[in-house]
Amino acid sequence: MFSRKNKLLALKIISLFSVVRGYNIPIIILAQYLSAIFILAPEIRALEILLDFNLFLIVFTSSLTIASGYIINNFYDSKKDLINRPNKSMLDRLVSQSTKLKVYFTLNIIVALIALMISWRAFLFFSVYIFLIWYYSHKIKKYPFIGNLMASLLAVLPFFAILLYYYTKLPLYEIEAYKSQFVVISAHATFLFLLLLIREMIKDLENIKGDLVDNYNTIPIIYGEETSKKIISFLSLLTLFPVYILIEIYDVGYMDIYFYSCLIILVFFLKYLWKSNTKAQFLLLHNVLKFLIVSGVFCIILINPSVLWHGKKLLLSF
């Protein structure tokens, strides 16, 4: 039987796991590795990518940075989360604010040390990334639309860390050839960015009560729900451009099934959006976008499924 002290310790560990959103971290790690294998470095063997120690350090460092970002975001949002997410907020409050800050600074120090081991570029990138996350949580997120844009950008930035890693490894004569591949990478990033931006806009609609209490100047608060819905509809239409580039101009293999499915779902998403006016309805729309984003991670495999088989054979032979 657990003693009272052990039970409290277990609850605090669960609470910290909730604060850093530990359930998101494995998805982010998987997304980075799949992006490296199928999008960023398709010419390199899958096994070679998986055994690349420097890449592992970049992915690990990205995960720690994102975890610390969730902590500082939770630190600043504790007041409004008590209204918007009361159950999660009560669990998160089992860990004190001072403990959260200690873990936050500890993670950032570890990130800085590991980044220095990789290269000065990695140190510079992650230092800027940490600062931007803090500045967003402290100030920018309270501004309409700019806060949404920055939140979406910060979510995409870890993938550019891997892009920068492979780009700096290229010999000069291959950089020119890599530019066409950069268009494909940018199209994928743009599509993901738009989905994330739409999700941020939906979260504003979902969290109006808490945002009002904590003086957040979000779009639905300043300009009204209808204006927010119009912007979301416009952003949904913009997803057509990266999808067209990826399906019609470049070859993404069987992943075009995912993109076609996304467009169909977004049509029904918009139809439901204009009928929605309650927190429960906006939460459902939020979860639909989460599903599209997470399923997109797994669907990266569809670009070239044969890589999995070849990777498996290489792994067995190794």
Q: Rounded to whole angstroms, how far apart are CA atoms 289 and 199?
A: 6
How many structural domains comprise the chain?
1
Supply the pLDDT for residue 294.
93
Supply the pLDDT for residue 166.
79
Per-residue pLDDT of 114-157, as tens digits, reads 999 988 889 999 999 999 999 999 889 888 889 899 999 999 99
Higher pLDDT residue, 260 or 15?
A: 260
pTM: 0.88
Domain that holds residue 29: 4-317
Per-residue pLDDT of 207-253, as tens digits, reads 888 778 777 888 999 999 999 999 999 999 999 999 999 888 877 88
* Helix/strand/coil (H/E/C) assignment for every residue in the chain: CCCHHHHHHHHHHHHHHHHCCCCCHHHHHHHHHHHHHHHHCCCCCHHHHHCCHHHHHHHHHHHHHHHHHHHHHHHHHHHHHHHHCHHHHHHHCCCCHHHHHHHHHHHHHHHHHHHHHHCHHHHHHHHHHHHHHHHHHHCHHHCCCHHHHHHHHHHHHHHHHHHHHHHHHCCHHHHHHHHHHHHHHHHHHHHHHHHHHHHHHHHHHHCHHHHHHCCCCCHHHHCCHHHHHHHHHHHHHHCHHHHHHHHHHCCCHHHHHHHHHHHHHHHHHHHHHCCCCCHHHHHHHHHHHHHHHHHHHHHHHHHCCHHHHHHHHHHHHC
What does pLDDT average to over the chain? 85
Q: Give the Cβ contact number of residue 214 at 10 Å.
A: 18
Per-residue pLDDT of 151-189, as tens digits, reads 999 999 988 888 888 777 665 545 555 566 677 788 888
CA dihedral sign, ordered 113, 116, 117, 121 = positive
Give me the amino acid identity at 315: L
Percentage of the chain exceeding pLDDT 90:
46
307 near 37, Cβ under 8 Å? Answer: yes
Give me the amino acid identity at 32: Q
